[in-house]
Amino acid sequence: MKFNNLRYSFIQKASFGSLVMICLLAVSTIAQEMPTGSLVIVGGGLNSDNKEVFSEMIRLAGGVEKAVFAVIPAAGSSPVQSFQYYHQALMRYGIQEENIRLIKLSLSDDDSTTLVNEALWKDNAMNPEEVKKIHDATAVWFTGGDQMCILQTLVKADGSKSPMLEAVWEVYNKGGMIGGTSAGAAIMSNPMIGRGNSLFALTHDTIARFDEILHEDSDTLFITQGLGFFPFGIVDQHFHQRARIGRLITTMMIEKKQFHLGFGIDENTALIYDGKNKQLKVAGASGVTMIDVSNAETSIIDNFRSVENLNISYLENGDCFDLSTHTIIPASEKILISVTEKHAYTERFSSGSLSTYTIDFKGLITHRLFDGTNPTSIEDLNIIDTQSAYILRFSKKPETKAYKNMDAWTINDVRLDIIPAQINIISPKQIKTK
């Protein structure tokens, strides 16, 4: 496993020439503006009974009486089914059926329809009839699937905006709501994460071969240009559920000159940007992890990436982040809890199904770091192979604050270090010999 220069390596193949042009040129043509509109960015898996998120979507779209939703299912392999899900959900919350519009844009045929081949919609970003459906909408919603499909359909081969993408930006600039889930969340930032998992991001080059990135199971970290609606940092989705902290941190270190903040959004949870009050808010069932790499440093140790001095915060439903002051505002019902160390020690444990300390990322940064014993820091061991592992060390700082109400948390400013480690796994035969 070699890092080499931890660079982007773009290998062009003739059949993917258009996609190459998108990746290389989009950054210069999709401006990161500051519109007056709002954003609802969902980490995937949005349940139709999530009242907090759907209420915010509708409020920011003008309310039940005025909201007009244009749903773009370009990312999905079943575009009509994806549309129908949000069609039914929005009607459940009071939006009139005629105010929920299917935008016919897709690269895939939906097997639930027998008379229509939705794959023929691939060029509809240039179709005036479909573009017209967006012009007077108050909200545009991107469904989940593959974020690269959204880029391929909405951005021209030369990297410029299609008429449909221009129309979406027009809605945003006029004060409308732009939102999306899963792949529809990934496209919000520029750059965006197209593929990859955490361990590969930490232990391999960031290499993108365009014939590989079309496969959902690609492990290699691929960073490309997004649509840039969210200009405050880089977004990742399915964050807690798919253990994506390593890939977001690696991306942030690569893009550090451009952005210091990364936002990892959990499933059934939204990061909301209200253009009127210039504030970020969390709504939904889980949380949003904020990663600040302002003071972080990275190095290569025995071909493994080490990252030190990251600042991590964790926000849940009702918590806000003020963009002008860069301060976290906990939900009003949460109470500041003591973070004073009762015992100045580091609690070491490894995750695993046989361990009584098995715990996920949310548990590490909340219950484990702020439990009754109040350790100074905690360490989580992540085994890569028989000789190597990563230690994630979460440490309290003088600035660290924690707020709690029942099982709802807000964590502000915890230090995280990601440290490569050598291990030695002994076989039963070796144990017997000893």
Domains of the chain: 9-231 (3.40.50.880)
Helical spans, DSSP H, in 189-255: 198-203, 245-254
Give percent of the chain with pLDDT exceeding 90: 69
pLDDT-derived band of residue 143, with 50, 70 and 90 as boundaries?
very high
Q: What is the DSSP string of 337-372?
A: E----SEEEEEEEE--TT-TT---HHHIIIIITTST
Average pLDDT over residues 48-55: 98
For residues 161 and 29, what is the distance between their CA atoms, to the nearest angstrom? 7
pLDDT-derived band of residue 5, with 50, 70 and 90 as boundaries?
very low
Cross-strand partners of 408 = 405
Residues 6+ apart with CB under 8 A from 322: 278, 279, 328, 329
Angle (CA) 382-387-389 rounded to 5° is 20
pLDDT tens digit sequence for 349-380: 656 666 666 778 888 899 888 876 778 899 98
Residue recorded with tokens 């593959």 = 146
- What is residue 349's predicted lDDT score, i.e. its pLDDT? 62
In this predicted structure, the answer to whether residue 9 has a pLDDT above a threshold of 90 is no
For residues 50 and 91, what is the distance between their CA atoms, to the nearest angstrom? 14
In this predicted structure, the answer to whether residue 297 has a pLDDT above a threshold of 60 is yes
Give percent of the chain with pLDDT exceeding 70: 83
- What is residue 36's predicted lDDT score, i.e. its pLDDT? 85
**In terms of Cα–Cα distance, which of 178, 189, 170 is closest to 61?**
178
The SS3 of residue 70 is strand
Residue recorded with tokens 């046989």 = 354
Q: Which letter does DSSP use for residue 155 in this model?
A: B
**In terms of Cα–Cα distance, which of 214, 73, 244 is closest to 148?**
214
pLDDT tens digit sequence for 263-273: 999 999 999 99
Average pLDDT over residues 127-139: 97
Cross-strand partners of 237 = 265
- What is residue 187's predicted lDDT score, i.e. its pLDDT? 98
For residues 153 and 122, what is the distance between their CA atoms, to the nearest angstrom? 6
Average pLDDT over residues 65-72: 98
For residues 343 and 374, what is the distance between their CA atoms, to the nearest angstrom? 7
- What is residue 167's predicted lDDT score, i.e. its pLDDT? 98
pLDDT-derived band of residue 394, with 50, 70 and 90 as boundaries?
very high
Average pLDDT over residues 78-88: 98
- Tell me how far CA of residue 228 lies from CA of 4, 19, 169, in angstroms: 29, 17, 10
Average pLDDT over residues 83-102: 98
pTM of the model as a whole: 0.89
Average pLDDT over residues 389-403: 94
- Residue 387 CB: number of other CB atoms within 10 A? 11
Q: How far is CA 158 from the centre of its chain?
A: 27
Which of 24-33, 109-118, 132-141, 252-261 shows the lowest mean pLDDT across its residues?
A: 24-33
Average pLDDT over residues 379-403: 92
For residues 382 and 366, what is the distance between their CA atoms, to the nearest angstrom? 19
Q: What is the mean pLDDT of the chain?
A: 87
Average pLDDT over residues 173-194: 96
The SS3 of residue 171 is helix
- Characterize 196-219 residue by residue with b for buried, 16 or more Cβ atoms within 10 angstroms of its Cβ, and e for exposed: bbbbbbbbbbbbbbbeebeeeebb
**In terms of Cα–Cα distance, which of 200, 299, 198, 204 is closest to 241?**
198
For residues 175 and 157, what is the distance between their CA atoms, to the nearest angstrom? 29
For residues 206 and 107, what is the distance between their CA atoms, to the nearest angstrom? 27
In terms of DSSP bridges, do strands 327-329 and 401-405 run parallel, antiparallel, or are they unpaired? unpaired
- Residue 349 CB: number of other CB atoms within 10 A? 16
User: Per the structure block, which two tokens stand in for 401?
Assistant: 């604050």
For residues 83 and 74, what is the distance between their CA atoms, to the nearest angstrom? 10
Tell me which amino acid residue 256 is: K
Q: What are phi and psi of 224, to 5 degrees?
A: -140, -170
Residue recorded with tokens 């017997």 = 432
